């Protein structure tokens, strides 16, 4: 049973006043007087929508201070409680509760606030129905308490936390879901009984009417940082500030002056010899604050593709010498009548700097929503101006159907020449009931469509269509290891804008929810023969044989007061020129030892052996290599107390690739064996960080970090590289060695 509309009694608008709720984790009936009381929690994991077995109740109360949420969770003594502490936004398979809220009630964007039994928290933004981004951090209050029967949690979400459009009179309509997760079993119960894994999530939240409260806030967060380079024997001192101003519920401004992008958060090491750029998430506070309104996904099914990729701001300058010096950036969000709008602008200094601009507007109704965005990037060093225009439409005619479409166009002017092209996509979701659902997705990306001046698009010159049929099973006997499973069967077709056939594919996958709180996943796929039009970087296309793919992964969380959790996967493919004779085998094993709820040690070993690794060697020359790679990601997390944490992280990579065969690609795309000598490859990378963080106040931190890293890459005809040796030698790398101290403090006025 799915609730579609629930309206809270507007008691706060009547005579009884709404008293402030003390957020101490104790459900005081006097404090929650007049709140909407929720008891109809139903299973969403497994997604049977049956009533909960473990009694759960919650309260929703709008106060002048913010949206208050209370949970009371009864838990049988036979089910162990998982109290694991976690870094903010890292989470754990622990007992926890969630608030999902769409402050405008239109299904376009929302927020997720999670409180673990340990009082650790997660906060994320939600866009495109069910795409979660944990990079954003908000200032909100939370507390938990525990007793023999169960545990309780309270949250208070200030009204100034998010931009909201004009309310209708004295009433605001929110979209809300509340849920509870039992860590030991992985079971999840929710009100309403919809799952974030379904194609419709944000638009399916319950509509709750509350008084239209509004808060103002001016927050200034100055920072100072010092970096000492022990290799270059030099130091650097920098200062700047972030500013947040929300005078009312309809408008807010974020700004940053001379933002610091130091080594507080480091990117994961990656090895990428392919034609598609590596995507990195953004942890910089200004660029994550209320960025969801500008987050318009576009291009294939990958959630990475988007029209604004904030890592472009401050990326390597157009002369390729260093990172861009961002001097200032500003972001406005607001509403006028029923129209929402957002403005984004950022500028980099020096003659090689760039200027970034974006303007977005949208209008939403109960069943339809329309939005548009214009972006512009000025790159004077390249004599280049890049403009992108976008329109998106959402239509949800009923609870079963959801249709989303987007069209884009790019207008690039460089050195007197103009290049224009366009693209579009549509996604149709149909929930047929009884666990069955279908999805049809199609995208067209013009050959000259260019979005990567500001956005992230894996490729252009591409047409893609995919049909997916899914079935969910939840009726498993108690003796089964599984509580639910989700099956998908899909077929897809790919070709470029010139009609060149890239590949057809069929796939089957099954994800299983296990009764130990963990999960597993298996996928089988096959690609037809076709062409690769990217690997030669514009120097032709390559005829490719059929490809095969098998993947399995298993996750087993920590059990109660136990010490170990595990994750592992195995991937076997045949995707080179000699298929199915030669294989690529990848495996990862990630055990974590939890000394207690606050201290853990983790390690992740990754090994790859590819007997037919294709690399571009310039012009129309390809090389097939026998490649081996070893990767270690290890460290520890010590949450000393609620204010302090110490994190150690080590990454090391060793790779060798021995040349097996050279190919020249003929004009018709046929790879022809060549006797040309191509070099072997050796690569090693190192990343090491020790980071201490002290929380002085909400969103105010002292960081002390030691960072060391390095990379080495070499080509040689002699064939003297070995992955094991490269991995061991990586620990000697010392291209950079830095000591960093950063202090930031948020002042609220």
Mean pLDDT of the region 508-513: 96
**Residue 40 in this model has a pLDDT that exceeds 80:** yes
Q: For residue 307, which phi and psi values (nearest 5 degrees)?
A: -80, -25
Inside any domain, residue 259? no
Sign, CA torsion 485/300/401/1: positive
Q: Concatenate the DSSP letters of all residues of 40-53 into one string.
A: --EEEESTT-PBPS
Domain boundary among 161, 193, 214: 214
Name the pLDDT band for 149 (thresholds 50, 70, 90).
Answer: very high
With a CB cutoff of 8 Å and minimum separation 6, the contacts of 538 are none
Q: What is the DSSP letter of 231?
A: T
Which of the residue ranges 5-14, 75-84, 504-513 would you say has the lowest mean pLDDT? 5-14
Instruction: Give the CA distances from residue 628 to residues 280, 498, 582, 726, in Å, rounded to whole numbers and listed in that order.
Output: 24, 36, 14, 11
Whether the CB-CB separation of 653 and 664 falls below 8 Å is answered with no
If asked whether residues 61 and 165 sit together in one domain, one would say yes
If asked whether residues 35 and 184 sit together in one domain, one would say yes
Whether the CB-CB separation of 450 and 459 falls below 8 Å is answered with no
If asked whether residues 160 and 241 sit together in one domain, one would say no
Question: For residue 246, which of 334, 156, 126 has the smallest C-alpha distance?
Answer: 334
If asked whether residues 18 and 152 sit together in one domain, one would say yes
Whether the CB-CB separation of 107 and 392 falls below 8 Å is answered with no
Q: What is the pLDDT of residue 262?
A: 52
Inside any domain, residue 287? no
Quick: pLDDT tens for 451-499: 999 999 999 999 999 999 999 999 899 899 999 999 999 999 999 999 9
Mean pLDDT of the region 246-271: 78
Sign, CA torsion 116/746/288/631: negative
Q: What is the CA radius of gyration of the chain?
A: 27
Residues linked to residue 658 through DSSP beta bridges, in sequence order: 626
Q: What is the pLDDT of residue 581?
A: 83
If asked whether residues 138 and 238 sit together in one domain, one would say no
Sign, CA torsion 207/211/212/218: negative
Cα dihedral: 604, 605, 609, 615 (round 10): 50
Q: In total, how many domains does the chain have?
A: 2
**Residue 2 in this model has a pLDDT that exceeds 50:** no
Q: How far apart are CA 727 and CA 606, in angstroms?
A: 12
Mean pLDDT of the region 54-74: 96
Q: What is the DSSP letter of 475?
A: -
Inside any domain, residue 668? yes
> Which two three-digit tokens encode residue 169?
């009179």
Name the pLDDT band for 261 (thresholds 50, 70, 90).
Answer: low
Cβ atoms within 10 Å of 75's Cβ, excluding its own: 21
Mean pLDDT of the region 321-330: 90
Q: What is the pLDDT of residue 7?
A: 38
If asked whether residues 229 and 168 sit together in one domain, one would say no
Quick: pLDDT tens for 382-435: 999 999 999 999 998 988 999 999 999 999 999 999 999 999 999 999 999 889
If asked whether residues 83 and 186 sit together in one domain, one would say yes
Tell me the three state secondary structure of residue 725: helix
Sign, CA torsion 669/675/676/682: positive
CATH number (domain holding residue 101) = 2.60.40.1190
Provide the mean pLDDT of the chain.
91
Angle at 280 between CA 275 and CA 286, to 5 degrees: 140
Inside any domain, residue 41? yes
Name the pLDDT band for 375 (thresholds 50, 70, 90).
Answer: very high
**Cβ density class 344-381: b for 16+ within 10 Å, e for less:** bbbbbeeebbbebbbbbbbbbeeeebebbbebbbbbee
Inside any domain, residue 693? yes
Cβ atoms within 10 Å of 521's Cβ, excluding its own: 15
Cα dihedral: 16, 21, 25, 27 (round 10): -10
Inside any domain, residue 573? no
Whether the CB-CB separation of 445 and 414 falls below 8 Å is answered with no
Inside any domain, residue 553? no
Quick: pLDDT tens for 653-703: 999 999 999 999 999 999 999 999 999 999 999 999 999 999 999 999 999
Whether the CB-CB separation of 507 and 523 falls below 8 Å is answered with yes
Cβ atoms within 10 Å of 180's Cβ, excluding its own: 24
Cα dihedral: 453, 457, 462, 468 (round 10): -160
If asked whether residues 227 and 190 sit together in one domain, one would say no
Tell me the three state secondary structure of residue 517: coil
Residues linked to residue 242 through DSSP beta bridges, in sequence order: 221, 256
If asked whether residues 239 and 109 sit together in one domain, one would say no
Q: What is the pLDDT of residue 4?
A: 39
Question: For residue 427, which of 390, 393, 463, 472 has the smallest C-alpha distance?
Answer: 393
If asked whether residues 78 and 227 sit together in one domain, one would say no
Cβ atoms within 10 Å of 236's Cβ, excluding its own: 13
Domain boundary among 214, 232, 261: 214
**Residue 605 in this model has a pLDDT that exceeds 60:** yes
Q: Which domain holds residue 28?
A: 11-214
Instruction: Give the CA distances from residue 668 to residues 253, 428, 671, in Å, rounded to whole numbers and listed in that order.
Output: 56, 37, 9
Domain boundary among 165, 188, 214: 214
Whether the CB-CB separation of 151 and 115 falls below 8 Å is answered with no
Bridge pairing between strands 66-74 and 56-63: antiparallel
Mean pLDDT of the region 599-612: 96
**Residue 1 in this model has a pLDDT that exceeds 50:** no
Share of the chain above pLDDT 70, in %: 97
If asked whether residues 130 and 241 sit together in one domain, one would say no
Instruction: Give the CA distances from residue 188 to residues 41, 95, 473, in Å, rounded to whole numbers and listed in that order.
Output: 9, 10, 16
Bridge pairing between strands 66-74 and 150-157: antiparallel
Inside any domain, residue 163? yes
Q: What is the pLDDT of residue 8?
A: 38
If asked whether residues 23 and 167 sit together in one domain, one would say yes
């Amino acid at each position: 049973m799915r609730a579609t509309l629930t309206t809270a009694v507007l008691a706060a608008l009547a005579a009884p006043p709404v008293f402030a709720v003390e957020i101490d984790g104790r459900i005081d009936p006097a404090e929650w007087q007049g709140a909407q009381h929720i008891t109809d929690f139903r299973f969403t994991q497994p997604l049977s929508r049956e009533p909960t077995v473990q009694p759960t109740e919650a309260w929703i109360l709008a106060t002048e201070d913010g949206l208050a949420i209370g949970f009371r969770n009864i838990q049988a003594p036979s089910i162990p409680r998982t109290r694991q502490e976690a870094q903010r936004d890292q989470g754990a398979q622990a007992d926890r509760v969630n608030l999902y809220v769409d402050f405008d009630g239109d299904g376009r964007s929302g927020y997720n606030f999670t409180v673990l039994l340990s009082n650790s928290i997660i906060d994320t933004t939600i866009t495109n129905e069910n795409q979660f981004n944990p990079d954003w951090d908000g200032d909100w209050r939370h507390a938990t308490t525990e007793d023999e029967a169960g545990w309780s949690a309270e949250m208070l979400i200030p009204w100034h936390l998010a931009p909201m459009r004009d309310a209708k009179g004295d009433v605001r309509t929110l979209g809300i879901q509340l849920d509870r997760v039992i860590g030991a079993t992985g079971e999840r119960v929710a009100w309403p009984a919809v799952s974030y894994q379904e194609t419709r999530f944000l638009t399916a939240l319950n509509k709750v009417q509350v008084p239209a409260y509004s808060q103002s806030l001016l927050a200034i967060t100055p920072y100072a940082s010092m970096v000492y380079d022990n290799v270059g024997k030099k130091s650097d001192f920098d200062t700047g500030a972030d500013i947040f101003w929300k005078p009312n519920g309809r408008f807010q401004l974020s700004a940053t002056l001379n933002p610091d992008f130091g080594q507080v958060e480091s990117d994961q090491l990656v090895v990428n010899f392919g034609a598609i750029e590596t995507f990195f998430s953004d942890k910089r506070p200004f660029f994550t604050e209320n960025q969801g309104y500008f987050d318009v996904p576009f291009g294939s099914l990958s959630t990475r593709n988007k029209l604004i990729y904030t890592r472009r701001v401050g990326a390597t300058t157009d002369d390729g010498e260093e990172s861009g010096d961002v001097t200032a950036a500003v972001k406005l969000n607001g509403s006028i009548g029923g129209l929402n709008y957002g403005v984004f602008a950022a500028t980099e200094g020096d003659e090689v700097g760039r200027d970034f601009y974006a303007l977005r507007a949208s209008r939403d109704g109960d069943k339809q929503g329309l939005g548009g965005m214009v972006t512009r990037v000025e790159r004077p060093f390249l004599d280049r101006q890049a403009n992108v225009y976008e329109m998106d439409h959402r239509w949800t005619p009923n609870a079963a159907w959801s249709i989303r479409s987007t069209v884009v166009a790019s207008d690039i002017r460089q050195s007197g020449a103009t290049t224009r092209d366009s693209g579009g996509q549509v996604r149709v979701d149909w929930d047929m009931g009884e666990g069955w659902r279908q999805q049809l997705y199609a995208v067209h990306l013009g050959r000259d469509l260019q979005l990567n001046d500001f956005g992230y698009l894996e490729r252009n010159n591409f047409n893609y269509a995919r049909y997916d049929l899914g079935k969910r099973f939840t009726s498993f006997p108690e003796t089964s290891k599984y509580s639910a499973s989700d099956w998908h069967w899909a077929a897809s077709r790919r070709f470029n804008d010139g009609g060149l056939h890239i590949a057809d594919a069929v796939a089957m996958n099954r994800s299983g929810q296990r009764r130990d709180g963990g999960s597993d996943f298996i996928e089988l796929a096959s690609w037809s023969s076709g062409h690769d039009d990217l690997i030669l970087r514009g120097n032709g296309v390559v005829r490719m044989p059929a490809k095969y793919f098998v993947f399995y992964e298993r996750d087993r969380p920590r059990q109660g007061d136990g010490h170990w959790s595990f994750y592992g996967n195995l991937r076997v493919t045949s995707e080179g020129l000699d298929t199915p004779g030669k294989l690529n085998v990848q495996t990862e094993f990630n055990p974590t030892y939890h000394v207690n709820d606050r201290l853990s040690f983790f390690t992740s070993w990754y090994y790859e052996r590819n007997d037919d690794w294709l690399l571009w060697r310039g012009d129309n020359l390809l090389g097939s290599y026998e490649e081996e790679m070893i990767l270690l990601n290890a460290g520890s997390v010590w949450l000393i107390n609620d204010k302090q944490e110490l994190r150690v992280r080590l990454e090391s990579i060793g790779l060798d690739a021995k040349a097996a065969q050279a190919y020249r690609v003929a004009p018709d795309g046929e790879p022809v064996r060549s006797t040309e000598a191509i070099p072997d490859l050796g690569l090693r990378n190192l990343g090491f960080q020790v980071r201490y963080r002290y929380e002085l106040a909400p969103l105010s931190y002292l960081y002390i970090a030691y960072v060391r890293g390095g990379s080495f890459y070499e080509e040689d005809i002699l064939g003297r590289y070995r992955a094991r040796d490269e991995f061991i030698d990586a620990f000697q790398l010392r291209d950079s060695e830095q000591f960093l101290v950063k202090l930031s403090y948020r002042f609220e006025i």
